[in-house]
Amino acid sequence: MSTHDHDIAAGVLPATDAVMEKTASDGILRQYYELTKPGISQMVALSTLAGYYLAIPTDVMTAVRSMDSWLHFGATMVGTLAISSGSCVMNHVMEREHDARMKRTSTRPLPSGRITAGAATVFGMALTIVGAALLWNVNMLTFLLAVATWAFYLAVYTPMKRTSSLALLVGGIPGALPFAGGWTAVRGTMDAPAWVLFAILFFWQMPHFLALSWMYRNDYREGGFVLRALQDDSGKVLGVQMTLYSVCMLVSILFPTILGVTGWLYAAGASLLGLWLTAESVRFVRIGDHAAARRVLLTSYAVLMGVLFLMFLDKA
């Protein structure tokens, strides 16, 4: 028996085979990870964390001394992330044929054939069930908000993208609910601060996704989506909408301080960030090119991160 055969008989793979097996395994894991739309999942996690943190009524250091508090926090974060990821996976399944027609999305795991629709469905539903089970143990309101977000995203927003440009507004609802969900996990009520957190993220999404839709409008046209950007090659109407929504966000980010949830340092810093996003939206109205749209998109990321950071820094 050769050395190679002896290694196989002994259950020891040659180094090259072991490396290839590990690489293939890592590749599959990356494909499943991609199905969860990591960018969206990270936004959901950060907004839920911020909402949860702001809702803690006592000193944070007092709250972290309790094991029950940590278990509650863990169930909220993992549950929200799981059910959000589950909805993203199911969105991939539902849109796989349309994704295959768009250059930007044709290499995703499903249209490229690297993962089957059946396997993705099982994965998505497993994440959804785990997430729902965890949030059931947080409180009923947070559970219902998460389930409503999942259902609204898949049953209303996803098919509506191919029939009406109003899908952007409809999609903003499930996109903004996790921010409020972090708050309700602690307080158990959809009170004024919860609605304000919802409004901040709702209005933030509008210039963000309007810029994205304009940048990739030809791709979306090929995919069969109905978007305002497809009817506005000059970008003027879209730019005015970006500006109006940016102003709405600028107003809404002041209300956490007005309601006594955050301090004046937050209000000052967040106002500057809101003005920055508004200025970039106005700039897009004037210029209306790909670079200006990209500036709005990148600025929106920075503004959201800045607002969340200031909330953590200056909790009342």
Q: What is the pLDDT of residues 19-36, one digit of tens each?
A: 444 455 558 899 999 999
Q: Which residues contact 239 (CB under 8 A, 6 or more apart)?
A: 281, 282, 284, 285, 286, 288
Angle 91-92-97 (CA atoms, 0-180°, nearest 5)?
115
Residue range(s) defining the domain that contains residue 313? 191-316
Residue 216 sits in the same domain as residue 272: yes
pLDDT at 57: 85
Same domain assignment for residues 302 and 205: yes
Shortest CA distance to 214 belongs to which of 285, 153, 144? Answer: 285
- The Cα–Cα gap between 199 and 236 comes to 25
pLDDT above 60: residue 107: yes
Please report which confidence band the pLDDT of residue 4 belongs to, taking 50, 70 and 90 as the band edges.
very low
Same domain, 55 and 146: yes
Contact predicate 41/77, CB 8 Å: no
Residue 5's pLDDT is what? Answer: 46
Largest CA distance in the chain: 80
Report if residue 1 sits inside a domain: no
8 Å CB contact between 180 and 194:
yes
- Look-up: residue for tokens 């009524």? 57
**Mean pLDDT for the chain overall:** 88
216 with 184, same domain?
no
Residue 231 lies in a domain: yes
pLDDT in tens, 237-261: 889 999 999 999 999 999 999 999 9
User: pTM of the entire structure?
Assistant: 0.85
- Compute the average pLDDT of residues 277-306: 95
Question: Residues 133-177: pLDDT tens digits?
Answer: 999 999 999 999 999 999 999 999 989 988 888 888 999 999 999
Same domain for 203 and 156: no
Number of domains in the chain: 2
